[in-house]
Amino acid sequence: MTKRLTGKIDPSRIRAMSLPLLPDGVLEGFRALGDATSAVADALDEFGIPGCVAASTLRPTVSGARLVGRALTVHNIVQSRDPMGSARQRTNKMGESEAHNLAEQGDVIVIQGMVGTSNMGGVGAQIGKRQGDVVAIVEGGVRDIGHSRAVG
């Protein structure tokens, strides 16, 4: 399936229009491990692969939730444009909206956001639910937690 961009951000900022398919059985194999967070983190440490983030840093908004999926990443940056001007011109430059648009069923949206700025909220959660995203992981401000929980 060919995806079309929504026009919310400059197409030159998109690194890939589609993600490579994973070999059959990879996600199912991880799901079969159960709650293997510590085992996977230890294995990554053993192989010298940095990047594990503790749950104390990224707190879950849905307790007990687990996820396995292919990651589609977003890097939010401070906009140099006046937000009111952008609203009048109907351009929001919200990278997470484009990520939800490009996501396939079961993908995980991972957002490196900014402190003090909403990097995702209820509208994003609703779009993600419609697109079939498994979950969003957000480093930065998130709003409308109740709405996100309500849509699952």
What is the per-residue pLDDT across 60-97, written as a single tens digit (0 to 9) for each?
Answer: 777 777 788 888 888 888 777 777 777 787 766 778 88
Residue 109 domain flag: yes
Q: Is residue 3 part of a domain?
A: no
Number of domains, the chain: 1
Does 39 map to a domain? no
Q: Are 80 and 116 in contact (CB under 8 A)?
A: no
- Domain assignment present for 132: yes
Could you tell me if residue 103 is inside a domain? yes
DSSP 107-147: -EEEEE--TTSBS--HHHHHHHHHHT--EEEEESB---HHH
Range of the domain at 145: 53-151
Note the pTM of the prediction, 2 decimals: 0.76
pLDDT, residue 33, reads 82
